[in-house]
Amino acid sequence: MTLADLAMLLTALFLLIGSAFVLIGVAGLLKFDGPMTRLHAPTKVGTIGIGMLLLASMTNAAALGEPSFHEVLIMAFLFVTAPVSANFIAKVNIHRRDCDPPPKPPGARGWATLKPTEDAAGAGDRPAGQDDPDAVAR
């Protein structure tokens, strides 16, 4: 077995792992109940799944005799941006009351995502019952 054959086998293995993680993540996106638990699964697609596919691309380029390393750039970009977008989607879920509200943080101000009149009990200047859950907090 030559070195190129070994690189091809490695490419096939990485492709298998990557597609398995893609399927697992998407199955989790469909099967879980509740928006916050559903947020958990597809992050695996973005990190491990696509990371393995990019590793396969790198080993395949090495097997073809022209090694390339710029796939690391995409991998780094995805690893940096996946938590940021997940955090934004979680904030949307909290903001639109699609999940249980998080416990109150220490201090009087409360969470910035939720309206301050709702989590600071007693300190609100707005009577209860007038809250529109879909109102956009400015």
Partner 1 sequence: MSAAALLDIMIVVSMVALLIGSVLSMLRLALGPTTGDRILALDTMVINALGLVVVLGIYQGVQVYFEVALLIAMLGFVSTVALARFLLRGDIIE
Which amino acid is it at 37?
Answer: T
* Candidates 62-70, 103-111, 115-123, 124-132; binding stretch for partner 1 (CB under 8 A): 62-70
* Cα-based distances in Å from 76 to 16, 18, 21, 42, 55: 21, 16, 18, 17, 12
Minimum distance between the CB of residue 131 and partner 1, rounded to whole angstroms? 16
Which residue lies nearer to partner 1 by CB, 92 or 108? 92
Binder of partner 1 out of 81, 100, 102, 123 (CB under 8 A): 81
* DSSP symbols for 61-80: HHHTT----THHHHHHHHHH
Which residue lies nearer to partner 1 by CB, 113 or 117? 113
CA pair distance 15, 21, nearest whole angstrom: 10
What residues numbered 83-102 form the site for partner 1, per CB under 8 A?
Answer: 84-85, 88-93, 95-96, 98
CA pair distance 62, 59, nearest whole angstrom: 5
Q: DSSP assignment, residue 45?
A: I
Q: Answer yes or no whether residue 53 interacts with partner 1 by CB under 8 A.
A: yes
Neighbours of 138 (CB within 10 A): 3
Binding site for partner 1 (CB under 8 A): 1, 4-6, 8-9, 11-12, 15-16, 18-20, 22-23, 25-27, 29-30, 35, 38-39, 42, 45-46, 49-50, 53-54, 56-57, 60-61, 64, 66, 68, 70-71, 73-74, 77-78, 81, 84-85, 88-93, 95-96, 98, 113, 136-138
